[in-house]
Amino acid sequence: MKKLFIGIIVSLMLLSGCKSENEQPKTLRLTTTTSVNDSGLLEYLRPYILEEANINLEIVSLGSGAALEAGKRGDADVLLVHSPAAEKTFVDEGYGIKRSTFMYNFFVIVGPSGDPVQIKDLSAADAFKKIESAKSPFISRGDKSGTHSKEKAIWKLAGLDAEVVSADTSFYVSAGSGMGATLTMASEKQAYTLTDLATFLSMKDKLSLKVIVSESPDLKNDYSIIVINPDKVANVDVETAKAFERWMLSEKALKLIAEYGKETYGETLFFTE
């Protein structure tokens, strides 16, 4: 009888192990920015997330403003965005459980290789001032994204009203599109634009643009994960979202992120805190 009992326990343990190994991946609705998506980072991380966290990503790519609105509507379980002021408001209003800033890169100003306005080595604000003064073509994302928010902040630092500047169609074009499409338009029109470095490096071989301003201290670009608060928003898979957050903040994930881009582009596309 004792042997039979032990045999049953062992069999149950083996069956339990098989069930765990064959457990179907959880599907996570992740809404992220076009800059993260266009850089290829998530596709690079996807197999690791599936293997180690048993999570399959269902990715929607939007500007940070639209991503935050998607979170409010319950169209996402977790966000990966880069618009700090808007993110803080989102969490303060109860839509997000918390904001975990875990990686960063830098915005850069790119433009024609000849740099017609001669903005190289200037601060971002001084560069914008010269572009506006010369009425040199400038393409804005114009989509309420994190990049668009940063652009408006730089116009303010330059002592200019972003709304007045954007109304001046003699040089300013609002693309109303993601980073990749905005860069393509800037290349075609030989115009200046503000972009995150990661997306630019991932596309640079297809563009007739180069980095003109990159060392300005006001160009740091922080990225954060926000798990949607199920007490405020319905139909949120908060447990899977938290599991994703834990994995993304793990030492293994941060190391992978810090290495991304070195082999292909010769430099890392994102830095980790």
Checking if the pLDDT of 189 tops 60, the result is yes
Grouping H, G, I as helix, E, B as strand and the rest as coil, residue 264 is helix
Percent of the chain scored above 70 by pLDDT? 92
> Would 26-104+222-272 and 106-219 be classified into the same CATH topology?
yes
* Complete DSSP assignment for 27-87: EEEEEEEHHHHHHTHHHHHHHHHHHHH-EEEEEEEE-HHHHHHHHHHT--SEEEE--HHHH
Would you say how long the chain is, in residues? 273
* pLDDT in the model for residue 26: 97
Checking if the pLDDT of 7 tops 50, the result is no
* pLDDT in the model for residue 195: 95
* pLDDT in the model for residue 251: 97
pLDDT, one tens digit per residue, over 203-257 is 999 999 999 999 787 898 899 999 999 999 999 999 999 999 999 999 999 999 9
Could you state, in order of their start, the residue ranges of all structural domains in the chain?
26-104+222-272, 106-219
Half-sphere exposure of 1 (CA within 13 A, CB side): 0
Least confident of 12-16, 173-177, 229-233: 12-16
Mean of all residue pLDDT scores within the chain: 90
Q: How confident is residue 21, by pLDDT bands cut at 50, 70 and 90?
A: low
Half-sphere exposure of 125 (CA within 13 A, CB side): 10
**What residue type is 166 in one-letter code?**
S
pLDDT, one tens digit per residue, over 87-138 is 999 999 999 999 999 999 889 999 999 999 999 989 999 999 999 999 999 9
Checking if the pLDDT of 49 tops 80, the result is yes
Mean pLDDT of 3-12: 43
pLDDT, one tens digit per residue, over 135-166 is 999 999 999 888 999 999 999 999 999 999 99
Please tell me the pTM assigned to this model. 0.79
166's tokens: 């954007």
Strand partners, 78: 30, 227
Distances (CA, A) of 126 to 154, 162, 272: 9, 14, 29
Query: What is the C-alpha separation between 131 and 149, in angstroms, rounded?
Result: 18
Checking if the pLDDT of 265 tops 90, the result is no
The residues, any chain, with a CB within 8 Å of residue 227's CB and separated by 6 or more, are 77, 78, 96, 97, 98, 238, 241, 242, 245
* pLDDT in the model for residue 43: 95
Q: What is the CATH number assigned to the segment(s) 26-104+222-272? A: 3.40.190.10
A 10 A CB-CB count for 205 gives 7
175's tokens: 């693309």
Query: What is the C-alpha separation between 227 and 229, in angstroms, rounded?
Result: 6
Query: What is the C-alpha separation between 164 and 128, in angstroms, rounded?
Result: 14
32 touches 75 (CB < 8 A): no
More reliable by pLDDT, 120 or 2: 120
Q: What is the CATH number assigned to the segment(s) 106-219? A: 3.40.190.10
Angle, CA of 51, 55 and 61, to the nearest 5°: 120
Q: How confident is residue 14, by pLDDT bands cut at 50, 70 and 90?
A: very low
Q: How confident is residue 267, by pLDDT bands cut at 50, 70 and 90?
A: confident
